[in-house]
Amino acid sequence: MINFTEIELSLLLQNTTYFLPSPTMAKTLSKPTSILFMLFTIFFFSTYVTADEAPVFSKNLPPSSLGLNQQKLSHLHFYFHDIVSGPKPTAVRVAQAATTNKSATGFGAVAVIDDPLTLLPENTSKVVGQAQGIYTLASQSEAALLMVLNLAFTEGEYNGSTLSVLGRNTVFSTVREMPIVGGSGVFRFARGYAQAKTYTFDTKSGDAVVEYNVYVLHY
């Protein structure tokens, strides 16, 4: 519905007469009648337009309306480089609890990462993406990370697309499995899982290379 300001009402009141077309003649209306007629006309048409264009909160759509056809299963294989040492670390601690340094598991430490993903385990290998997000040491009894990150790919048909990981990573387990909870680009509506396996871990520097196998269903 249209709401009138004081100025708009004042302009309406300044008009003394209005003319209503009829089949035989133009009838001059009195001032009160003309104003009422004008307000009724505006109200009627604004209500009609508003009702016709009323926003819809939700509706069902066929997958084909978004170009979604048959799902496919993709397997991605790469190496995740978590570098905490040196002048340009890719994983940086940004927060910790008052008791973190006294914890045997580092409980409460939070790190932000921008880790390169490479085709081969060497750090000179071709970069196919970045792992960007956060992980935190979330267990008081073992070295277990809560991983919240995006795998942002820069290679081939996956360039510009992402996969989102949200899961538990017990870093000293041989193989860790974490859910893929979504994605973007060619990975819209994605779901699946990632398996992580430590390839190398430097106990002095804390740097690690982790092999990832990702299995994802997407359109």
Task: Compute how many other C-beta atoms are within 10 angstroms of the C-beta atom of residue 43.
Answer: 12
Least confident of 21-35, 151-165, 173-187: 21-35
Q: Is the pLDDT of residue 183 over 60?
A: yes
Residue scoring higher pLDDT (172 or 67): 172
Contact 146, 168 (CB under 8 A): yes
Task: Compute how many other C-beta atoms are within 10 angstroms of the C-beta atom of residue 137.
Answer: 23
DSSP state, 47?
H
The pLDDT, as a whole number, for residue 14 is: 53
* pLDDT per residue as tens digits for the range 119-144: 999 999 999 999 999 999 999 999 99
Task: Compute how many other C-beta atoms are within 10 angstroms of the C-beta atom of residue 183.
Answer: 22
Residue scoring higher pLDDT (182 or 46): 182
For residue 63, name the pLDDT band (cuts at 50, 70, 90). Answer: confident
For residue 12, name the pLDDT band (cuts at 50, 70, 90). Answer: very low
